[in-house]
Amino acid sequence: MPIGTIRDLGAEGKTVLLRLDLNSPIDPTSNLILDDKRFREHLPTIRALEKSRVVIVTHQSRPGKKDFTTLEAHAEKLEQLLGKPVLYVDSIFGRHARESVHAMKPGEVLMLENVRFNAEENLTLKPEEAKKTHLVKKLSSMADVFVNDAFGTAHRSQPTVVGLPLVMRSAGGLLMEKEVSHLSRVFSGAPRPVCMVLGGTKVDDSIDVARHVLDNGIADQVIVIGVVANVFLAAAGYNIGKPSMQLIVQLKYEPEIQKAKEILVRYRDRVVMPESVAVRQDNHRVEYSIDHIPDDAPVLDLGMDAVATLVQTLKKAGTVVFNGPAGVFEDADFATGTYELLKAASKVEFSVIGGGHTAAVIDKLGIEKDFTHISTGGGACIEFLTGKKLPAIDALEQSKKIFG
């Protein structure tokens, strides 16, 4: 069942609770926001609600982290990008918040305090439990309808994400709609061949994605890079060296080697592993074929032979879904694999990038406009690609059933 959209909501003149994901990299000393990509992605939704009273519910980081802070800087940044005032209220649902919302006129925008300052928002709850929380009761009493545009938190079963849609007429925002429509196209109607590139360090998620897309014939090929490739190489019986193996153990991904083995047994012809790697020796980049990886040097990038082969594979693809870097791209000596594969991926007919680190690299390379879709949610995007229904999407579908 599809989620409701802003167009169906009839929000004109109403008070709208708008859940955004403005969680951004912050300089802890100055509280300056270092990257405003997520803000920019939400602007179309805020503008589409210009005849409503818009009450923004959002978060920054989570308890215990250095960048867990108030949203004063976020309201200022949004005001700057939106080109109209954004009132910041240092309360979530206290008297000051309620009175400020009550005093709003249509067309005005207000941002409540970091919703994760409320302990309930940090709980993982079933929707039926979430709707009974004080947080959901108090927030829902302050507005007429709810719009969820926070795709970046769509995989979390938290009160504002899954509780509010059960008690209020709700819809997905324009960004939520865009994310769902592009990512759904990967499963049906994407130009063939479909090639998944799975890298970075989220090995367990990547293995789930690989299994899902291979079992269901969604992807024709899965290219593994980064730590994901090291797990597959170990599964295929290659010695990846002590430092790379230690990293896998440290990240608690040893059980994934067995899962990678099972995938290789069934789909060896469709999983593409790098044939060479680059390591650091005596402070230099040195390349080795995968059957001669030194025991004492960490694997930090693809070798140039591997880059050339994988680029050729990508050139033949109709669709590329790319999630996670090929190596330690922050170090210029080991950025080649990530850079070259992304450049190749940008040239295919339909290209989807799974957010996070990969999106940051694309920004740096200045090739953002060459991709069909760059997801704003790393974790949410990869979970969507494993074929699981995201809690936020499920809750919006339930809301449509309840409220029409």
Quickly list DSSP for 77-126. Answer: HHHHHHTS-EEE-S-SSSHHHHHHHHT--TT-EEE-S-GGGSGGGGS---
Rounded to an integer, what distance in angstroms lies between the CA atom of residue 339 and that of residue 284?
Answer: 19
In this structure, are 210 and 145 located in the same domain? Answer: no
Q: What does the pLDDT read at residue 147?
A: 98
**359 in any annotated domain:** no
In this structure, are 30 and 154 located in the same domain? Answer: yes
Q: What does the pLDDT read at residue 377?
A: 86
**Which residues in the chain come in under a pLDDT of 50?**
none
In this structure, are 172 and 200 located in the same domain? Answer: no
In this structure, are 147 and 73 located in the same domain? Answer: yes
- H or E element that contains 311: helix 304-315
pTM (two decimals): 0.91
**104 in any annotated domain:** yes
Residue 309's domain comprises 192-348
Q: What does the pLDDT read at residue 1?
A: 61
In this structure, are 110 and 244 located in the same domain? Answer: no
Q: What does the pLDDT read at residue 379?
A: 87
Q: What does the pLDDT read at residue 31?
A: 82
In this structure, are 200 and 173 located in the same domain? Answer: no
Residues listed for the chain:
404
Contact between residue 46 and residue 52 where contact means Cβ atoms under 8 Å apart: no
In this structure, are 156 and 271 located in the same domain? Answer: no
Nearest-Å Rg of the Cα atoms of the chain is 22
User: Helices 226-235 and 203-215 sit at what angle, rounded to 10 degrees?
Assistant: 70
Placement of tokens 């153990």 in the chain: 249
Q: How many domains does the chain have?
A: 2
Q: What does the pLDDT read at residue 183?
A: 95
Contact between residue 71 and residue 111 where contact means Cβ atoms under 8 Å apart: yes
Residue 312 sits at the vertex; the CA angle it makes with 307 and 316, to the nearest 5 degrees, is 145
In this structure, are 161 and 274 located in the same domain? Answer: no
CATH of the domain at 318: 3.40.50.1260
User: Which residues partner with 172 through β-bridges?
Assistant: 5, 148
In this structure, are 165 and 245 located in the same domain? Answer: no
In this structure, are 33 and 141 located in the same domain? Answer: yes
Q: What does the pLDDT read at residue 192?
A: 97
